Amino acid sequence: MEKYLINPNQKISKISKDIYGHFAEHLGRCIYNGIFVGKNSKIPNVNGMRSDVVNALKEMGIPVLRWPGGCFADEYHWKDGIGSLENRKKMVNTNWGGVVEDNSFGTHEFFELCEQLGCDAYVNGNVGSGSVQEMNEWIEYMTFDGISPMAQLRRENGREKPWKLKYFGVGNESWGCGGNMDPEYYGCLFKRYNSFVKDYDPENRITRIACGPNVDDYHWTRNVMDKVKHRAHGISLHYYTIPTGYWHHKGSSTDFDLNGYNTTICKAYRMEELINNHLAVMDSMNPQKSVKLIVDEWGTWFDVEPGTNPGFLYQQNTMRDAIVAALTLNIFNKHADRIMMANIAQTVNVLQSVILTEGEKMLLTPTYHVFKMYKDHQENTLIGSYITTENIDSKEDGKAFPQLVESASVDENGVICSTVANTSAVKTAKIKCQIADTKVKSIRAEILTGEIHAKNDFDNTDEVKTAGFTDFRTLKDGFSATLPPCSVVKFLIEK
């Protein structure tokens, strides 16, 4: 029996809802077909946005959306995507399959999408191939309410009032597809570009994000922090879980053995080490801790589904992905004091998606269900918690990982939300939870579980779904429960 302790007296920090953020790039079938089908499509839509997808994302509680990339952001020239559709430039999407980008989804469409979703906007600017003037004018176009050339142009294009821009990224992966820069050089460029990202609306100041490290590049973090200092509110880490660790052969999303499962889970757990180490570097440069960490690209990355365009990064999603999502979100919750936002890659039809589409059909992936279950944590207060656990050997990696991973938070009415994942593919876990200074009145619980390969596909969209969980006993100061292998359980505890 593992011991699980929750201490509601230890209030640690608010869990920003933006930790549950998403990312949508002009990549494969994410934006086009996945989210945006155009007004004239037979697929039900509102102003071109698929109604089924928008409704599902709203129900999941999407808080913030990052756009237009990714690598695409650093070749995106925003003026190509405004004005009448017929006059929008057609260009080649050099990063993703060499397909034609017709710019029919641009700035107005992005903000329309955010308005329909009721979520905040995170726009990523172009440092790699764009000019300072271009970035400066984009900010003016999006956020200025007065008399100016860009505000006037926006009005001519049908939008009187500026939009609310919460986050702005100054470059993406500037160490790679965004310009192959050295950190010192990028740090100087950040200062230059960022100077022209103006705060036109003093009540809605823009949260500025500097391009942070790839995986464990602590040299990048140190040197960018050294230049950027307090000028950035956040610095973004990118970390993908790739089971083999090789880009040319990442492994199948559905066809894997127990070793492949364990290696994936073990690699996903690496997020904790990366967060701790990058924060240590950041805090040594910025002891007042004003610069937060953002993980604006994370998730599993497998080989594309056989027969699909290799440049489209379309992969299936199984219970293995659900466990990766659950453990990662628990890790983010536990670092809520320093993590401002995270964005899983990518919303629809790309990498670890929450939604897949095929023509007019749509399905919710196991990862979707985890995000929806965890919605209760958004804007709650993280409270102290600890669970004892066995470790599971990951043979290929030579490393072990915890079987159980949890986090707990409390809402303004005192309801405790606890999410626990049993990451073992084969072992059941018995837990006994004790909640300090608490007399439990009632508990509601929900579970997502299945065999590690279980998935939803277009023949069976409901193979993996959440269900009420009853295999627990309410105790006067907590509960005991039996968690099946490969499961995620949420307990909502009223006192």
Contact residues: ligand AHR, CB under 6 A: 25, 69-71, 172-173, 297, 345-346, 351
Shortest distance (Å) from residue 225 CB to ligand AHR = 20
Shortest distance (Å) from residue 350 CB to ligand AHR = 7
Q: Which of 290, 279, 486, 280 is nearest to 403 (CA)?
A: 486
Q: Which of 457, 439, 452 is nearest to 494 (CA)?
A: 439
* Nearer to ligand AHR (CB atom), residue 8 or residue 128: 128
* Nearer to ligand AHR (CB atom), residue 25 or residue 376: 25
Phi first, then psi: give them for residue 293, nearest 5 degrees.
Answer: -95, 140
Q: Which of 62, 169, 67 is nearest to 119 (CA)?
A: 62
Q: Which residues are catalytic?
A: 173, 297
* Nearer to ligand AHR (CB atom), residue 25 or residue 120: 25
- The Cα–Cα gap between 351 and 120 comes to 22
* Nearer to ligand AHR (CB atom), residue 82 or residue 237: 237
Q: Which residues contact 247 (CB under 8 A, 6 or more apart)?
A: none
Shortest distance (Å) from residue 480 CB to ligand AHR = 41
* Nearer to ligand AHR (CB atom), residue 172 or residue 466: 172
Q: 112-122 b/e with 16+ CB inside 10 Å = b? A: bbbebbebbbb
* Nearer to ligand AHR (CB atom), residue 268 or residue 351: 351
Shortest distance (Å) from residue 119 CB to ligand AHR = 19
Shortest distance (Å) from residue 324 CB to ligand AHR = 15
- The Cα–Cα gap between 246 and 115 comes to 39
Give the number of other Cβ atoms within 10 Å of residue 314's Cβ: 22
Location of structure tokens 């690699």: 267
Position of minimal CB gap to ligand AHR: 70
* Nearer to ligand AHR (CB atom), residue 172 or residue 286: 172
Shortest distance (Å) from residue 171 CB to ligand AHR = 11
Q: Which of 341, 459, 389, 462 is nearest to 22 (CA)?
A: 341
Shortest distance (Å) from residue 125 CB to ligand AHR = 13
> What would the two tokens of residue 69 be?
């990339």
Shortest distance (Å) from residue 240 CB to ligand AHR = 7
* Nearer to ligand AHR (CB atom), residue 69 or residue 187: 69
* Nearer to ligand AHR (CB atom), residue 12 or residue 31: 31
* Nearer to ligand AHR (CB atom), residue 345 or residue 483: 345
Shortest distance (Å) from residue 72 CB to ligand AHR = 6
Residues in the chain: 495
Shortest distance (Å) from residue 24 CB to ligand AHR = 10
Location of structure tokens 């039900």: 44
